[in-house]
Structure 1
């Protein structure tokens, strides 16, 4: 078989490549909306989404998305406009995501854990005028919006409640009691400082005209934000074609068919849940069993009841489920494919899955900039604690970070990626875009900022980070962003954020804080933690705060965070 140009010359991993698959893929040359519309025509009676016992067929999802798209168009949303989408996993998120695409607009997915201080950036930077949110977070959006200049504010906010999507009185499908406050509570609609607020059901109750479809593979589809070593989060410009490629490729790699029953619990505001699970499932017409958040007992019941065949997760979820006192009551025999990423799967857990269930845990690797997977393990030949091999159509190399010279197998360097899954660049940030790419062998490669090595067979392994980042249970925490938020506390003179070891999360967030002289003795470590919890997403909140008289500095005056990190490592933290 000849190797397509997109896959590059013969690479070592081609020897372990699944024989049933080509090295590269030709994805459909259509918009992402077409995947939902086609699945609805192909499978008119098939469950598309299951949510607490409520089943939605593919035609139902299309009908709701079209009505919402018509409403967005009536609100003034036009081709290329950015629409904020802020929800935990629920059917409305899928409907809204596809409605925005059908309105020829761009989805701006936002982590619902973000608070008002963080949310201002997600309204301001993409110049959003419309947002769609669940009622539990809508108040934070309104609070953020009110702090902006009038010309920067939202014009419309559409608000849904989780109970719009299922029958909360159905005793056979009771959510975990701990979720009642945000899942079942009737949060009142907030007021928008300079705009209108509309209830979800009212928004869908219309017979307004749909706009003419006007987008194709090259048009912008999604603008997910990613943080980095400096400054505020940056928007990653993904056209329809990059997500389409990885949706189709994920389906092919996992041998997916319309008979797949997929447990979707990784968040869809994140690129993995959005592309590798949601878009991939919709592409093949699979059934999605939806969880809004992780709960091991609910997961066990859902896998057993719906005969789930495919489950993408982060390893801590598997560890948690296996540790359930009710585990023996759950039937996992329907699972044929299990895998994920975000953190390494402990070898002992992977071995238990293999011995007890015959399941090989397939680890993968990808970034927001690469539309989820750029690497994954061959399902028939996975290696443990390994990123896998370059994905379909992907050319990945290891280069010296300084000279950019390609390195031989076994040598540590920076992982770089080329392929149709790579984003176009950072929104409004030509400087950051230029710095993120290099040219090698006539191709444009994205610099991941991760250090790794490739073995003789072409499998990649993560060894370190070039970028300063904390990986807490698969959530990426960027110290510079947390520090910038902490500096707003009136008692904090300086703060340096580092990672500390955590038995469950792998890593957790620690802040070394220098207090202003006027506040010493008046503020405790717990006070700082509580303030952080009120002002930033919970996964970013320092679990440990340590007061110091001063932070170590270099001759040029820069804070030497690495000195603090090395001291933490020596202390066993």
Structure 2
């Protein structure tokens, strides 16, 4: 097998330092294109300084965690940069989370300030009031705050963006981002950030049932940015990034950090499913880089405007989060150009990218080759101590500078995930894979009991643990079946064994109660599509749910 490629040098430079360097060199360089409005790198830095000063007034100090409960928007970039200027780790809080899930993450990460979209926070404000003791304040912002006055007026009179009124809250201090930063001091804020400092706390599902906060250092993040840059040559100030991967997800963050490092123009689309607006942005600013999940590429193929975009300058179209069918790759490359589609593989814990299918040398069906400095081994799944020969499946483990430092407050989970192999600390991914003689890696099976729904990871144990709150359920099991409409994705199936209370209530009533509970308590992609009520859920000899039997 080929030797591991050497790791390129990683500059000892924080995100704020990178942005300030760009401001010194080209303050008027375009940075963000959002709903027809362009913000320069100088404007972004100025707004981040203003926000950082306002955050200080609210009591946010170095080391405090800032939560970003936002879709892709200028506010996300400015909030992330302001937190970094203060020396504060940030944590992306998915807009898809339900109130209980938000409360859990805010408390678990000890979030001090939550920056949120008013449309997201207003419906849940009363439900979380009094349940967020770690918060000093909630800062709300609107989707059109950064638009010129005439566009705001037009949005108001047409009703396209309804005005949002927050309810009066007794226990949460609420402030407004837009008026506050316009009045705030724009004095430079710059707290030094060491490469080993925690920069992001990104949440991922876990075997305990609750999401786990993966602590990613500045070195982890910037190492992975540098590694990704080895696949394609990116030119400072000349790139246009057209990625709608959500920034609350580590894959989206990776594209954002790379865009900031290369002083790229980033096309920002708040609703990734609005492919028409996405294409309109690309028509105005032809992209050099695309980044999406396979489902989004499939949606783009159905949008006539996609074929009108000028892809002559496109260098790469990255796809991740789920396998891309060979036929999809072929159809996309008919439009964007042959050899430009590039599949990537990674995890939250690895900042995220581990492998890429190199453009022009891609092998469809594989996840490509390890990035430079990334030592991937395939070991026996039983003990994790024996390396497997070429083309033999086993658990994928990895050592590299992008591998996280551990899970927040979970030493046992961290020790199970990070173990010594061949003298190196390796992350045991739980994914079953095989590596061929040329080093190309193929995923044989996903991590145990994990589903992919619309590109999002769904951990069955998290749902099963939540369902224990329902008296009518004796036992439950989540099983994924292939989604024929979205190749590479799963359909969530819930199997239920009724308790005596459930039998008394009846199948139909239990079905309706469980579905209503799931829709109320879980993010939409976690809600089961099908509920199967069975007489008995099969168990293994040691009393565990036998999911293999259920799948059969």
Q: TM-score, normalised by structure 2?
A: 0.92
Distance 1:352 1:78 in 2: 50
Which residue pairs with 2:526 in the alignment? 540
Q: How far does the alpha carbon of each residue in 1:346-373 deviate from its partner, in whole angstroms, 9 at most, with x for none?
A: 1112123334442321101000000010
Query: Is the Cα contact below 8 Å between 1:84 and 1:122 reproduced in 2?
Result: no
Which residue pairs with 1:255 in the alignment? 233
Distance 2:23 2:260 in 1: 9
Greater mean alpha carbon deviation, residues 548-557 or residues 82-91: 548-557
Greater mean alpha carbon deviation, residues 54-63 or residues 132-141: 132-141
Secondary structure at the aligned position of 1:401 is classed as: coil
Are residue 78 (structure 1) and residue 61 (structure 2) matched?
yes
Structure 2, unpaired ranges of 5+: none
Which residue pairs with 1:424 in the alignment? 405
Are residue 12 (structure 1) and residue 5 (structure 2) matched?
no
Query: Is the Cα contact below 8 Å between 1:80 and 1:105 reproduced in 2?
Result: yes
Are residue 531 (structure 1) and residue 517 (structure 2) matched?
yes
Are residue 217 (structure 1) and residue 207 (structure 2) matched?
no
1:328 to 1:202, Cα distance in 2 relative to 1, 3 A: closer
Distance 1:147 1:297 in 2: 41
Q: Give the drift of 1:210.
A: 5.7
Query: Is the Cα contact below 8 Å between 2:391 and 2:434 reproduced in 1?
Result: yes
Distance 1:209 1:56 in 2: 19
Query: Is the Cα contact below 8 Å between 1:157 and 1:192 reproduced in 2?
Result: no
Are residue 132 (structure 1) and residue 115 (structure 2) matched?
yes
Q: Pick from 251, 275, 285 the counterpart of residue 296 of structure 1.
A: 275
- Which runs of structure 2 are paired with 1:20-169 in the superposition (5 Å)? 23-139=6-122, 142-143=125-126, 145-146=128-129, 148=131, 152-167=133-148
- Which runs of structure 2 are paired with 1:366-381 in the superposition (5 Å)? 366-381=346-361
Q: Give the drift of 1:332.
A: 3.9
Query: Is the Cα contact below 8 Å between 1:191 and 1:197 reproduced in 2?
Result: no
Q: Give the drift of 1:511.
A: 0.8
Q: TM-score, normalised by structure 1?
A: 0.89
Q: Give the drift of 1:153.
A: 4.3
Q: Pick from 423, 436, 451 the counterpart of residue 442 of structure 1.
A: 423
Greater mean alpha carbon deviation, residues 348-357 or residues 451-460: 348-357
1:211 to 1:190, Cα distance in 2 relative to 1, 3 A: farther
Q: Give the drift of 1:253.
A: 2.4
Q: Give the drift of 1:140.
A: 5.7
Q: How far does the alpha carbon of each residue in 1:179-232 deviate from its partner, in whole angstroms, 9 at most, with x for none?
A: x88xx2222234444231000113312127665513211111100011123321
Distance 2:283 2:375 in 1: 39
Distance 2:41 2:187 in 1: 21
Distance 1:314 1:239 in 2: 25
Distance 1:60 1:522 in 2: 57
Query: Is the Cα contact below 8 Å between 2:83 and 2:90 reproduced in 1?
Result: yes
Which residue pairs with 1:363 in the alignment? 343
Query: Is the Cα contact below 8 Å between 1:302 and 1:308 reproduced in 2?
Result: no
Query: Is the Cα contact below 8 Å between 1:146 and 1:153 reproduced in 2?
Result: no
Distance 2:480 2:56 in 1: 45
Query: Is the Cα contact below 8 Å between 1:338 and 1:359 reproduced in 2?
Result: no
Distance 1:13 1:291 in 2: 40
Query: Is the Cα contact below 8 Å between 2:311 and 2:337 reproduced in 1?
Result: no
Which residue pairs with 2:217 in the alignment? 239
1:426 to 1:261, Cα distance in 2 relative to 1, 3 A: same
1:402 to 1:48, Cα distance in 2 relative to 1, 3 A: same
Q: How far does the alpha carbon of each residue in 1:370-423 deviate from its partner, in whole angstroms, 9 at most, with x for none?
A: 001011122231111211111121111111122321111101001111111010
Are residue 497 (structure 1) and residue 478 (structure 2) matched?
yes
Q: How far does the alpha carbon of each residue in 1:486-516 deviate from its partner, in whole angstroms, 9 at most, with x for none?
A: 3334543432111022123331211112342
Greater mean alpha carbon deviation, residues 448-457 or residues 383-392: 383-392
Query: Is the Cα contact below 8 Å between 1:314 and 1:340 reproduced in 2?
Result: yes
- Which runs of structure 2 are paired with 1:331-410 in the superposition (5 Å)? 331-360=310-339, 361-403=341-383, 404-410=385-391
Q: How far does the alpha carbon of each residue in 1:8-44 deviate from its partner, in whole angstroms, 9 at most, with x for none?
A: xxx5166xxxxxxx73111111222212222222221
Greater mean alpha carbon deviation, residues 241-250 or residues 511-520: 511-520
Structure 1, unpaired ranges of 5+: 1-10, 15-21, 568-573
Greater mean alpha carbon deviation, residues 278-287 or residues 539-548: 539-548
Query: Is the Cα contact below 8 Å between 2:139 and 2:177 reproduced in 1?
Result: yes
Q: How far does the alpha carbon of each residue in 1:322-347 deviate from its partner, in whole angstroms, 9 at most, with x for none?
A: 12355554444443311211111111
Secondary structure at the aligned position of 2:407 is classed as: coil
Query: Is the Cα contact below 8 Å between 1:251 and 1:284 reproduced in 2?
Result: no
Query: Is the Cα contact below 8 Å between 1:142 and 1:193 reproduced in 2?
Result: no
Secondary structure at the aligned position of 1:298 is classed as: helix
Query: Is the Cα contact below 8 Å between 1:73 and 1:210 reproduced in 2?
Result: no
Secondary structure at the aligned position of 2:62 is classed as: coil
Which residue pairs with 1:571 in the alignment? none
Greater mean alpha carbon deviation, residues 22-31 or residues 392-401: 22-31
Distance 2:469 2:442 in 1: 38
Distance 2:15 2:279 in 1: 32
Distance 2:337 2:479 in 1: 39
Secondary structure at the aligned position of 2:229 is classed as: helix
